[in-house]
Amino acid sequence: MTPAAVKGKAFLGLLNLIVVLALLIFLSAGTLNFWQGWVYLFLFGLCCLLVTLYLMKRDIELLKRRLNAGPVGEKSSVQKIIQVFASLFFLSIISFPGLDQRWDWSQVPLYLTLFADLCVVLGFYVVFLVFKENTYTSAVIETSEAQTVTSTGPYARLRHPMYAGALLMLLATPLAMDSYWGLLFFPPICIVIIVRLLDEEKFLSLHLQGYTEYCKKVPYRLMPVLW
């Protein structure tokens, strides 16, 4: 795939993602008068766009690796199943705040909503730092012939900083859209990500030279001190 084709596919994928998110948020809410949903959609789309533009300019190969995402892209049947559940819970954590808004089940204080918006951006920033540090951060679990273990940047503290950033963003998502009840979907998606990363560690220990030694050097997976 040529660089131009990669860029075109990336832009189209981003546009499709934003349209899907908008439909999930506002159809579930039953109204466009949902400012928390608009702010979240803007921040999510802006962060995705900025990361995409960075990769277009600095690491087109990583951008190419990120295009083949989801259950279809995975080679392992276990990871295909994991990705199906991850997708379902992600769609739920995005759409449920809209239902909360429609039926007025809960109300989040303004200061907490704004703080959650900040955490969404922070989560994306952590993911960006991962992309900046590790050009082999594929959207699926695989290794490349020239790949080596990355132990610098955020990887010096956590084995899976990208998942940590994603979980921060997902935890903040319902609160950013004025919903406490949307948090019900965070534990399931957290469990799915943990299962995914544990399976990923087994794969990398077998197929990436030096990864076992790296795990001994960096004992924490998602949270310093805790785990």
pLDDT at 146 over 90: no
**pLDDT higher at 190 or 140:** 190
**Residue 198 to residue 10: CA distance in whole angstroms:** 29
Q: What share of the chain is helix, strand, coil (3-state, %, to 5)?
A: 70, 0, 30
Question: What mean pLDDT is reported for the chain?
Answer: 91
Q: Note the pLDDT tens digit of each residue in 163-210.
A: 999 999 999 999 999 999 999 999 999 999 999 999 999 999 988 899
**Residue 197 to residue 11: CA distance in whole angstroms:** 28
pLDDT of residue 65: 86
pLDDT of residue 74: 66
What number of residues does the chain have?
227
State pTM to two decimals.
Answer: 0.93
Angle at Cα 18 formed by Cα 13 and Cα 24, nearest 5°? 125
Q: Where are the domains of the chain?
A: 3-217
- Which long-range CB contacts under 8 A does 90-94 form with residues at least 24 apart? 90/170, 90/189, 91/24, 92/185, 93/170, 93/173, 93/174, 93/182, 93/185, 93/186, 93/189, 94/21, 94/24, 94/25, 94/173
SS3 track for 149-173: CCCCHHHHCCCCHHHHHHHHHHHHH
**Residue 168 to residue 124: CA distance in whole angstroms:** 9
pLDDT of residue 136: 87
pLDDT of residue 141: 79
Angle at Cα 13 formed by Cα 6 and Cα 186, nearest 5°? 130
pLDDT of residue 70: 67
- Cβ within 8 Å of residue 73, ≥6 positions away: 139, 140
Report, as an integer, the average pLDDT of 79-93. 90
Sign of CA dihedral 181, 185, 191, 193: negative
